[in-house]
Amino acid sequence: MTDRPVSSELLRRPRRLRGTPAMRSLVAETHLHPSDFILPMFVAEGIDEPRPISSMPSVVQHTLDSLVEAVHEAVSVGIRCVDLFGVPLEEHKDAVGSGAWDRRGILNEAIAKLRREFGNDVLIMADTCLDEFTDHGHCGVLSTDRHGAVIVDNDATLTAYARMAIAQAEAGAHIISPSGMMDGQVRVIRQALDEQGFSDVAIMAYSAKYASAFYGPFREAVGSSLQGDRRTYQQDPANFRESLLEVELDVAEGADFVMVKPAMPYLDVLREVAQRSPVPVAAYQVSGEYAMLHAAAQNGWLDLEAVMMESLTSIKRAGAQQILTYFAVDAAKVITSS
């Protein structure tokens, strides 16, 4: 007989289900799979080899050829969707972002090249926004209000988005992804696509996109020419109900997916959207989230692989069915090797 206290009254011992890796795997409530991930990729005009992005370790601006090679690598580990961002030369930017609907523009050329290479085996999603193509860096067309102040003209921008979406669909995009947060953008794009015979092209709406400080490294990635900020059209980080309204409007206008961006700072928003949305819900683990985990790991403060997987699990646990992440390939390798 021992002096250990008798604990027969403890009928419930949750630790029984944590004792071994096999047991933890058996009862895990959330599972990541490579097919959950969408890989954001940048393709730049006027470069002859991939160009590293200093604030985003291991992420580059691709050439058209290196883009194809990188997508083959992604496919080899189980990723089936990529999200393309174009980076035109400065001299090809203008006030209205006309390079966005130029068939020879870098983004549309990249879409077409991937569609020829992969057909329907890889879903090609295209960023449908003008910010990379305007010389002022805003997501829309500028005008002045009745008081003479410079504004982003919502309705004039919608016309440009429709042209851009049609060009992307013609190039071969499977999914159009309007990220500019203009009122009515999903309705106008859906109508334009349907009228041009692209009723099979889906729309992933950036429905709850916040004016976040976590986008910093992305500005380098796309060579942003932004002057000012985007707080008049992206959401205020202080607001929650506004996201639910935006999602409701986008679904009513024909969105096939809705998105919350950024992901980790807005998991509360993601959870509520996931519970309410009748369509699939995506979340974007943005450049700042990616960069800060890398920076902490480089300083020896965090285990990069561990926090990568924990952060992605938290996003899926909150309700995301698709996760846009620059970690996509690395995370998929971890999953497939485990």
Residues designated catalytic: 209, 261
- Looking at the DSSP assignment, which residues form a beta bridge with residue 117? none
Residue pointed to by tokens 């870098």? 106
Alpha-carbon distance 222 to 277, whole Å? Answer: 31
Alpha-carbon distance 184 to 55, whole Å? Answer: 34
Q: Is the peptide bond before 262 cis (omega within 30 degrees of 0)?
A: yes
Directed axis angle between helix 304-317 and helix 328-337, to 10°? Answer: 100
Residues 6+ apart with CB under 8 A from 200: none
Q: Measured between alpha carbons, how far is residue 38 from residues 67, 94, 295, 331 in Å?
A: 15, 30, 23, 11
What residue type is assigned to position 302 of the chain? L
SS3 content of the chain, % helix, strand, coil (to 5): 45, 20, 40
**What letter does residue 235 receive in the DSSP assignment?**
B
Q: Measured between alpha carbons, how far is residue 214 from residues 65, 102, 268, 287, 330 in Å?
A: 30, 30, 17, 7, 21
**What letter does residue 9 receive in the DSSP assignment?**
T
Which region, left, alpha or beta, applies to residue 217 given φ > 0 means left and ψ of -120 to 50 means alpha? alpha
The torsion angles phi and psi of 206, rounded to 5 degrees, stand at -75, 85
Alpha-carbon distance 64 to 72, whole Å? Answer: 13
Alpha-carbon distance 111 to 166, whole Å? Answer: 12
Alpha-carbon distance 257 to 204, whole Å? Answer: 5
